[in-house]
Amino acid sequence: MLWPFLACVAAANGQPAAHLIPRIHYTRPCVNPHSGSRDISGAVTIGDTHHVWQLCDEGWHHASSTDFVHWTTGGVDLDEWPSGFVFADDEGACAGFRGKEDGLVLRCATATTGAFWNFSAAEPMMNVSFYRFLPLDPFRPFRDRDGRYYVGVALDACNDTTREAPCGAGGELRLWSSDRPRGGSWSRLPAPMLATNRTVFGDGREAHEFVTVEYVGFGERRVLLNNAYFARGSTEYFLGAQASGSPFVVESQSMLDWGEISPRDDGAGVGLGALNRTRVDDPDGGRYGMARCLGAADMVLGTGRRVCVADISYGLPGASGLTTQALPRELSVDGTRLLQRFARELRALRRGAVAADGPGLYPGGRRVELVATFAGSGAIVVLGGAAVVLDVERRIACVDATSQGVADVRCGPVDAAATYLVHVICDHSLISVIVANTTAITAVARPDETASTDVRLSGALVSADIYALAAAS
């Protein structure tokens, strides 16, 4: 599907090659062939260093960074399999996850610097026993305004009643509370933190448990991240408020990334109504999931940044099941809207600049960044034919690489505005887009090795800055 005003260059499929390998995204050097086991298991900022653990075949693989761009590979710190969390306090840091029995356990680190951490043997944290077996993914303990600590555990809303799956009641988060994060007496609160089957498209559509959740605060507002089954595990968010120990009150819900949503085949609708409400099942991916946040010592009440990283699952010709870490995005809140921007540290990769003041052909590259303003519909063609399209009439933004053999166009809704800021970062075969600081789309391109890497701008372009980017790895 290509928009009428857009002339794209078709590119032929080929075998995986060097020109398709991302050079900005961090890719862990470990193997993880198990389906659904790509979780970012834990993330924590200690001082000026950001630490991320991601599940590999061998366990939790550790990487660290001081700038969100260049990552130091550590290795496997934990030989555990379940996903979980990592938190830090005055005593050091602990990893928490579901143990061999029903319950959460902690393994605490005696060293929290350098490439490898020395985690102690498992110690009980709290009992979590339910009728059905589920991942029981927890988010990290946080201290709330009442001085008590809370942990949320991801379930579905049918755990106490049936073994059947999927669950029509949807996902559920349960809360436990304690006077301290380790060595405390944890008790389950009677009411769920949140139970819902609502998706961004309406009620009664989500029928699975919450998975690999994250919980962060922005003053009076709080944001819950979850991997939505209806979008093949891409990350959604709930924005709202919560009093200490009380249910979470949802004020808005949307997708953190729209990379698994497509436009309707009939071309009808505006905004959400223009999008396909079913999940996209294809091998190309671009799935943005398992998001975790870094940047502040206290991610709920504390000051400091909330910078989100996630896993991208994608496929290329002859190589499915590829994963890499998403480019960091800084989150903020404006009323009931969640805003996101590429982390400013990525600007350090800029190596050249071209200013564009109108439609035309401009120098690009396989690693290229564009910051463009449109006053109406327009398009940015990159990587030999992949197109970032802004369709103002339908109020959607899309990434269209179907000319390169990618199965589906990927789209998200945009609000009506006088002008639209479109921020694009291309990394060989991955395209990351943020429109108006609200709508993010992660998608896959399949450029031919011989295709032009020039950038073509068309439509109601006001201005654009184009940057060549250095490799981060």
In terms of average pLDDT, the best of 117-126, 271-280, 309-318, 325-334 is 325-334
pLDDT at 135 over 70: no
Q: CA neighbours within 13 Å on the CB side: how many for 331? A: 32
pLDDT at 8 over 60: no
Q: In this structure, what token pair is assigned to residue 411? A: 């789209």
What is the percentage of the chain residues whose pLDDT exceeds 70? 90
Query: What mean pLDDT do residues 173-199 have?
Result: 93
CB atoms within 10 A of CB 468: 18
Question: Residue 394's pLDDT is what?
Answer: 97
Nearest-angstrom CA–CA distance, 262 and 303: 37
Interacting residues of 376 by C-beta distance below 8 A, sequence separation 6+? 392, 459, 460
pLDDT at 113 over 80: no
pLDDT at 3 over 60: no
**Residue 225 confidence class, pLDDT cut points 50, 70, 90:** very high
Domain 23-346 has CATH 1.10.10.10: no
pLDDT at 337 over 90: yes
Q: Which residue has the higher pLDDT, 311 or 16?
A: 311
Three-state secondary structure readout of the chain: CCCCCCCCCCCCCCCCCHHHCCCCCCCCCCCCCCCCCCCEEEEEEECCEEEEEEEECCEEEEEEECCCCCCEEEEEEECCCCCEEEEEECCEEEEEEECCCCCEEEEEECCCCCCCCCECCCEEEECCCCCCCCCCCECCCEECCCCCEEEEEEEECCCCCCCCCCCCCCEEEEEEEECCCCCCCCEECCCCCEEECCECCECCCCCCCCCCCEEEEECCEEEEEEECHHHCCCEEEEEEECCCCCCCEEEEEEECCCCCCCECCCCCCCHHHHECCCCCCCCCEEEEEEEEEECCCCCCCCCCCCEEEEEEEEEECCEEEEEEECCCEEEEEECCEEEEEECHHHHHHEEEEEEECCCEEECCCCEEEEEEEEEEEEEEEECCCEEEEEECCCCEEEEECHHHCCCCCEEEECCCCCCEEEEEEEECCEEEEEECCCEEEEEECCCCCCCCCCEEEEEEEEEEEEEEECCCC
What is the percentage of the chain residues whose pLDDT exceeds 90? 66
Question: Residue 7's pLDDT is what?
Answer: 31
pLDDT at 30 over 70: yes
Question: Residue 31's pLDDT is what?
Answer: 56
CATH of domain 350-469: 2.60.120.560
Q: Contact 172/180 with Cβ under 8 angstroms?
A: no
pLDDT at 286 over 80: no
Q: Which residue has the higher pLDDT, 108 or 163?
A: 108
Nearest-angstrom CA–CA distance, 269 and 253: 20
Question: Residue 203's pLDDT is what?
Answer: 79
Q: Where is average pLDDT lowest: 159-173, 310-324, 381-395?
A: 159-173
pLDDT at 133 over 50: yes
Nearest-angstrom CA–CA distance, 193 and 186: 16
Query: What mean pLDDT do residues 184-203 have?
Result: 92
Interacting residues of 313 by C-beta distance below 8 A, sequence separation 6+? 38, 233, 285, 286, 287, 289, 321, 322, 323
- Calculate the average pLDDT of the chain: 88
Nearest-angstrom CA–CA distance, 331 and 295: 11
Question: Residue 222's pLDDT is what?
Answer: 98
Q: Which residue has the higher pLDDT, 15 or 125?
A: 125
Interacting residues of 1 by C-beta distance below 8 A, sequence separation 6+? 263, 400, 402, 409
Q: Contact 96/138 with Cβ under 8 angstroms?
A: yes
R_g of the chain, CA atoms, integer Å? 22
**Residue 207 confidence class, pLDDT cut points 50, 70, 90:** confident
pLDDT at 373 over 90: yes
- Provide the residue type at 28 as one letter: R
pLDDT at 32 over 70: no
Question: Residue 276's pLDDT is what?
Answer: 85
pLDDT at 367 over 90: yes
Domain segments of the chain as ranges: 23-346, 350-469
Which of left, alpha, beta for 21 (phi over 0: left; psi -120 to 50: alpha)?
beta
